[in-house]
Amino acid sequence: MNPNRLWVLVKGELSRLNKYNVTSISILVAILWGIILFFVDSNALSAMLPFILMIDATMMSIMYVGSVMFFEKSESTISTMLVTPSTSSELVLSKVIANTIHNMFSSALIIVVFYFIKDVELNWFLIFLGIFSATAFHTIAGVLLAYYQKNFTGMLVNIMILAFGLMIPTALYEFGILKADFWKYVLLINPIQAAAEVIGGGFSAYSHTWIYYFSLAYMLVGGALLYRFFVLPKFHDYAIKESGV
């Protein structure tokens, strides 16, 4: 892997995010969340803010990278990249890095505003570690999901199904509706719940038990394995299919 070539590809992916107005949409979403949360009282904010950051790092990451890959497919961009010296690992990794940088920026907007206006107490290192690991994992998952989408509408429908299936149990647990210890262990297999744990770990009220470290390993190690054994091997087939070769 060539670091200089990878950096050029990352800059290209960031430019493409801006070209397709994904960056503008993410900033607008961050502003809307900020306005909504500004009028929430302090007690509710401590529960709402980590949950909103979790949504931004998970389902929004999947939707953003999926949208860009669909637009690339419609413009035959990947078929052009196939004839360059860039390797499959560089092409895939550049998408993961660019989407992670982009999504962390929108999350940072929300965090900074509430840190200064609402005086939210947090650990900067842990909060950005949580957002980084959750965003990277779900970006990788979003790339894999994009391989199997036939059209943009189908992709959005599948993302919504995924969101309801994985996010509702997490929401019910995070807001104290599912209280039994049974759910605490069952939800460990849910990547959305793992993301909620690692992001919540950056807030002062969070207790760092073994569940936090398990969730962090889930995001970091699980993301690496998903990339290595599922996303990367299937990229070439996706690129060839997309190019019509």
Helices H, strands E: what count in the chain? Answer: 12, 0
> Interior CA angle at 157 toward 146 and 161, to 5°?
95
Report the C-alpha gap between 77 and 243 in whole angstroms: 9
User: What residue type is 217 in one-letter code?
Assistant: A
Q: Give the pLDDT confidence score for residue 218 in this predicted structure.
A: 97
Q: Give the pLDDT confidence score for residue 112 in this predicted structure.
A: 79
Radius of gyration for the chain, computed over Cα atoms and rounded to the nearest angstrom: 18
Name the packing angle between helices 59-75 and 42-57 (round to 10°).
30
Secondary element (H or E) of residue 241 = helix 232-243
Going residue by residue through the chain, which has 245 residues, state the pLDDT in tens, using 9 for 90 and above.
788 889 999 998 999 888 888 888 888 888 888 787 777 776 777 778 888 899 999 999 999 998 888 888 777 777 677 677 888 899 999 999 999 998 888 888 888 777 777 777 789 999 999 999 999 999 999 999 999 988 888 888 999 998 889 999 999 988 888 887 888 889 999 999 999 999 999 987 788 999 999 999 999 999 999 999 999 999 988 887 754 44
Q: Is the dihedral of CA 191, 192, 195, 196 positive or negative?
A: negative
Q: Give the pLDDT confidence score for residue 242 in this predicted structure.
A: 56
Q: Which residues contact 108 (CB under 8 A, 6 or more apart)?
A: 128
Between the alpha carbon of residue 124 and those of residues 129, 130, 162, 193, the distances in Å are: 8, 10, 30, 21
* Structural tokens at position 188: 């460990």
Burial label, 215 (beta-carbon count in 10 A; 0-12, 13-18, 19+): buried
Q: Which residues of 142-171 are buried (b: 16+ CB within 10 A; e: fewer)?
A: bbbbbbebeeeeebeebbeebbeebbebbb
Q: Give the pLDDT confidence score for residue 244 in this predicted structure.
A: 44
Identify whether the C-beta of residue 102 lies closer than 8 Å to the C-beta of residue 26: yes
